[in-house]
Structure 1
Amino acid sequence: MTFKEMVHEFSLLADGMRILYVEDEPLIRENTKLLLETIFSNVQTASNGIEGFKLYQSGVFEIVITDILMPEMNGVTMVKKIKELNPLQPIIITSACEESSYLLELINLGVAQFLLKPIQTDNMIKIVHEVVTNIYNQRKVNEFTAQLKQDLIHQTTLLEQYKEIVDISTIVTKTDLQGNIIYANDAFCKTSGYDSDEILSKGHRILRHPDMSSEFYENLWKTILSKQTWTGSIKNLKKNGERYITDTTIKPILDEFGNIIDFISISHDVSELFDLNDEIWQTQHEMLSLLGEVGETRSQETGNHVRRVAKYSKLLGELYGLEEEQIRLIYSAAPMHDIGKIGIPDAILLKPGKLDVDEYTVMKTHSNIGYDILKNSNRPLLQAAAIIAHEHHEKWDGSGYPNALDGENIHIYGRIIALADVFDALSCDRVYKKAWPMDKIIELIINERGRHFDPKLVDMFMANIDQFTEIANKFKD
């Protein structure tokens, strides 16, 4: 790609972004402004911190680029004032070597990008490109999040309307103590396809769907014969062989002495509701998977990472004996485990080597960032995602973060994701390491049993290792 082509592509990402450039040297200021104007359509300049801060107060700037040593107000003071107004403002510092005493103070203010003077065009383009790409990706994440919320509201509105429509049609039957239907209303006949005479003579058995076990009906009868109301969903067969699902309430009718006379069943055909609910669930699952993939692109991970972690988590949930609804929740919410990394600076997130102590401290904040993004939702799926984002780095022995939880004080979702995420991280190449051999991974997981990982989960993982390696091979990067 030629320099001209690169600048053109760069300018597409930077479309609509405003730049504030503060530099006291006129020649440097004008030359750099000309360079920036090849990319940005709106570049404002100032010759000192006072002018720069006044310009910043007068409008919105996506990026601020400033020198440090300037008359009247230096760059450090201006950065402090800007950060007081907008702590998240992206700022690039241009600095000479003799100004290094200011750098730690600027880093503490949240500045992550620095350009050494004299400014080289290639370095300027590289640093600004990183910042613009980060802003562009953040905008896409925000747009996608807003769309996700809007779609969830839309789907919920549809669901409520379907419920209202279904409630209009109420199916009523009356059954005697032997289980014979002695009354069926028109709505029942219309839904089932049987006329009144057929259902009165043949009874409930002709409605039984093969998916409904005999134990289900035994428990139902046990409940209502004990004079308790039974409520639940029943899958039935229509006369034409199709299935329909009812949300049913069965209440024993008692005489004045407390004896059961018969049973009244009130049902609603919720077949469409079940289908719609499944569609909504699939939509939510796909949206969270895509959002998780967007987050992973910042750390140069592939979408297959979140897919694998979701698959491992689903399998662990099944092996652990979680309820079907919990398994669905952890499977769909798992891709959001590292969504908090969208708030980690690129300089730390993309560092190819080992993080130092301060960098690791910043990296660990992604658990709280992810939790803060998701915690205010009352949707079960996003609540599960919030738990996972918050607790997937906690350890069984209490040495994890952010809250040093231990044992079963860590939510089962967090314990499952912890094992699934580490297994995937070790078995795949990352920006900071190569994939480990499988025998080394297994050795580490066994060694971390009761320390990092829930012992029960490790035992299940080892007993079913072939299933996990099958997933890893199927969804390779």
Structure 2
Amino acid sequence: MSDEIFFAEDNEEQETTSLGKWKVLIVDDEPEIHAVTKLALGDFVFQDRSLEFICAYSGAEAKKMFREHRDIAVVLLDVVMETDDAGLKVADFIRNDINNHFTRIILRTGQPGQAPERDVIINYDINDYKSKTELTSQKLFTVVISALRSYRDINAIEENRKGLEKIIAASADLFSILSLENFIEGIVQQLSSLLGGTKGAVYLTSAVAGPKPLDSYNPNELYVFTGKGDYANRSGEKLEQVLSGAELLSCHNAYQNKCLVFENEYLVAYCGSKTQKGSLLYMSGLPRKLSETDKHLVEIFSQNVQIAFDNVLLTKDIEDTQREVIERIGQAMEHHFGKGRHIQRMVKICDVLGRNAGLNKAELNTLCLAVPLHDIGKIKIPETLSMPVSKLDKSELDSLRYHAEFGYNLLKDSSRPLIKTAALIARDHHEYWNGNGYPRGKSGDNIHIFCRITSLANAFDSLRNKRNSEENCDLQKVLAVIISQKGEQFDPSLVDILVANIDEIEQIICDFPDDENSSINQLN
């Protein structure tokens, strides 16, 4: 990364842009108190943010305001209103009923005897206690400044905690695309909190972006990978769709010169990469002028965050290569018997069934990677058996059915979990729920869920694409056959899932049709 840092030109005539307002709730049954408080704090500004006053004239009204406004920074709370302890009940409501431990509660009372300070401080989670007679304009200013500083720091700590929580949650599965998104989002959130909070943040990259496949993106363009605040839910959009004007020019500057650009209200950091073209981190709505420490944090982030992307892209490439090799082996076996896209449909249908059967992401990934090898044992079957099952004698039928055991023996000695799974599926995907299948007569839950899913997907696709006959087996006929075997050949719950998701499965059939003149033999 270049050590060069760009700063915006100073402009003394430039007006300070508002960064929002601090919400202050005044709770008092005397209108004069509201008027005096607003007058005393009318020109109050803290960190370039003025005050927004919200008024409540009773304890009940104060509770209503807290339900409507979740970001009240300070409440100036009278004790005695409609009842002698109305204010204390509001304080209890804030902390315990709506579980708000961020708002700073300043208790103000004109009757200290009604609520002794010592008892109130001990029994209620308040932050300050003042008598109205001692609360001069200057003291009110001091109290509110102190409260707002506490509120700001507590929120920064909470943002930091959430960021660390996301990083920890993602670390167990760092090298999957979805968890990486959480990981990057967590780091962005943590960095934002360390800088005192920002209006928005966005991480842009040409390496991988959003929900689309990697090859859907132009490697010469920058896309949103994840965003926060104003840029949430913009994943997959181009840089030019998200930013414009000076911000867009700063991004181009940072990307082309591989540098950091600090402006008054936003920053752009180039995130270097050894294998990719690099990425950008854009953060807007900076709450204050950044210190050298802040800039150092941004620089550390930008130097190291792309490493996570490089690692995940490498892992993704390995996984995609593994998937393609296995699929090509399965397709090669199909082409030995004819032409078709049975394997591709099988993988997609198994994904639908497995997802709705409650398999987690890792299990679903393993199933879909292993399924293409379900009929690898077919390579042992003589070509003389390439005829309908009904025309085979018993010895020929036994020889045909041996393909399941042969496929298992071919793969079982591998130490790789994926290949072991493929071995199990190759052997048991012809087992029946009622125990009348082969090769070992397993039944019910003794048949692994992967094998039950593969069995149903294989049968449905084979019937729906009846390739050893000219008959077009329509959907209703296929469903009737499948349902008739519910609890016999197939797991009843999986049949229900197939029927419930038939539209999605039918779309798979449409998207992956067999080649014309296909004649793949279907082995039973």
TM superposition score category, shorter chain reference: 0.3 to 0.5
RCO higher in structure (CA 8 A, sep ≥6): 2
Give me the TM-score of the superposition, normalised by structure 1.
0.46
Which structure's residues are more often helix, by fraction?
1
